[in-house]
């Protein structure tokens, strides 16, 4: 760890950085979440637990771990997934001051933006990246990146209703592409349906179910391409794995 701006004996300048800032920039958690990780005693620097907020590290030489796992800064683009809770707008800034995903995202690195949108009341997988080219491609209908949703809808859609959703249904902005649709479970007044789309039009899932007369009550995005939430708690972020990034790039037609 670093206490001064000069490394002992060498005279070499170092660039100390607050540990919580380092953790946030490396994608371990938001700045606030990183502070929580530290105070919970889950962060170690060079093998020693560091829980004091404001401690500094030199990213070039210090070995930082969270729960024993190495955390590193990367120079390249950043890719994160947020398990979005309900009640947050998908924008980094709302002129009306409503809660936005920016409130629960790491502030670093600058230039992180959401890839597509989830409605305020929709939960689940929301990707963020600093890589505008890849974001453009994954959202482009040409590349068919699949999004899996779990919708709880009012009433009990018939098998014919679900088949029409699967085959494509007429919406005011044109017919929808074929989708995978599966009834998961039924209760007296509601049904859980899984639907996999390769397009991503505004409020598409809600509009599709409305068109068959079964409005969506709750909507959760369970996956985006290869990215699933696993045990990521609601409101938390994690960096995408190398394998997830490679799979997204491949699906989006970018050479790996
Ligand atoms: N479709 C919707 O209707 N809403 C979402 O948030 C995502 C997909």
Q: In the chain, list all ranges with CATH 3.10.290.10.
A: 17-71
Contact 143, 253 (CB under 8 A): yes
> 146-224 has which CATH code?
3.30.70.1560
What residue's CA is closest to ligand 1, atom 3?
Answer: 203
Lining residues, ligand 1, CB within 6 Å: 118-119, 122, 203-206, 219
Reply yes or no on whether 94 is catalytic.
Answer: no
pLDDT at 12: 38
29 CA distance to ligand 1 middle (Å): 26
The whole-number pLDDT of residue 255 equals: 65
pLDDT digits (tens, 9 = 90+) for 96-149: 999 999 999 987 777 889 999 999 999 999 999 988 889 988 988 888 899 999
Q: What is the DSSP string of 30-96?
A: -HHHHHHHHHTT-EEETTEE---TT-EE-TTT--EEETTEE----SS--EEEEEEPTT-BSSS--TT
Question: Is residue 171 pLDDT above 60, yes or no?
Answer: yes
Q: Ligand 1 mean position to 120 CA, how many Å?
A: 9
Which is catalytic among the residues 94, 103, 119, 121?
119
What local confidence, expressed as pLDDT, does residue 10 receive?
A: 35
pLDDT (mean) for 40-66: 92
Residue 9: per-residue pLDDT: 35
Q: Does domain 79-140+226-251 have CATH number 3.40.50.11540?
A: no
Global pTM value: 0.75
The winner for highest mean pLDDT among 15-29, 74-88, 204-218 is 204-218
**Which of 204, 207, 212, 221 should be mutated for ligand 1, with most atoms under 8 A from CB?**
204
Look at 2-6, 75-79, 226-230, 234-238 and tell me which has the smallest mean pLDDT.
Answer: 2-6
Q: What phi, psi does 75 have (nearest 5°)?
A: -80, -25
Residue 59 has pLDDT above 90, yes or no: no
Lowest mean pLDDT among 6-10, 48-52, 189-193: 6-10
Nearest protein Cα to ligand 1, atom 7: 118
State the pLDDT at residue 1.
Answer: 58
Name the residue at shortest CA distance from atom 2 of ligand 1: 203
The answer on pLDDT for 23 being more than 50 is yes
Q: Is the Cβ–Cβ distance between 196 and 147 less than 8 Å? A: yes
Q: What is the pLDDT of residue 128?
A: 95
CATH class of the domain at 17-71: alpha beta
The answer to whether the CB of 210 falls within 8 A of the CB of 200 is: no
- Bin 105: left if φ > 0, else alpha if -120 < ψ < 50, else beta: beta
> What residues does CATH 3.30.70.580 cover in the chain?
79-140+226-251
Residue 3 pLDDT > 60: no
């Amino acid at each position: 760890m670093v206490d001064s701006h000069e490394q002992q004996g060498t005279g070499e300048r170092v660039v100390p950085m607050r540990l919580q800032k380092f953790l946030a920039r490396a994608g371990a958690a938001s700045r606030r979440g990183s502070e929580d990780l530290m105070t919970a005693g889950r962060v170690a620097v060079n093998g020693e637990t560091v829980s004091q907020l404001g401690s500094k590290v030199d990213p070039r030489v210090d070995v930082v771990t969270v729960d024993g796992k190495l955390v590193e800064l990367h120079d390249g683009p950043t890719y994160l997934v947020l398990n979005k809770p309900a009640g947050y707008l998908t924008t980094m800034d709302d002129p009306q001051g409503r809660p936005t995903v920016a409130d629960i995202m790491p502030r670093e690195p600058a230039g992180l933006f959401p890839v597509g949108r989830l409605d305020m009341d929709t939960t689940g997988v929301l990707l963020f990246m600093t890589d505008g080219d890849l974001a453009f491609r994954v959202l482009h209908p040409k590349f068919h990146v699949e999004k899996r949703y779990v919708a709880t809808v009012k009433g009990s859609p018939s098998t014919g209703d679900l088949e029409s959703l699967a085959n494509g249904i007429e919406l005011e902005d044109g017919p929808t592409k074929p989708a995978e649709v599966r009834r998961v479970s039924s209760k007296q007044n509601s049904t859980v349906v899984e639907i996999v789309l390769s397009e991503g039009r505004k409020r598409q899932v809600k509009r599709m179910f409305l068109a068959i007369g079964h409005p969506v009550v709750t909507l959760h995005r369970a996956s985006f391409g290869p990215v699933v939430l696993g045990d990521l708690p609601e409101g938390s972020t994690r960096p995408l794995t190398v394998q997830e990034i490679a799979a997204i790039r491949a699906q989006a037609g970018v050479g790996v």
